[in-house]
Amino acid sequence: MAEPIAKITTNFSYGVRETDESKRLYAIERARVQAARLGANVLVIDKVEYQQTTSGGVTGGLYDGQTVSSIPAQRTPVVHATAYYLE
- Determine the pLDDT at residue 30: 95
Cα 73 from Cα 80, distance rounded (Å): 22
Domain ranges of the chain: 2-54+71-86
Answer whether residue 71 shows pLDDT above 70.
no
2-54+71-86 under CATH 2.40.50.140, yes or no: no
Cα 45 from Cα 50, distance rounded (Å): 14
Note the pLDDT tens digit of each residue in 18-66. 788 888 999 999 999 999 999 999 999 999 999 877 665 555 666 777 7
The model scores a pTM over 0.75: no
Cα 78 from Cα 86, distance rounded (Å): 25
Contacts of 68 by beta carbon, 8 Å cutoff, 6+ apart: 57, 58, 62
- Determine the pLDDT at residue 60: 60
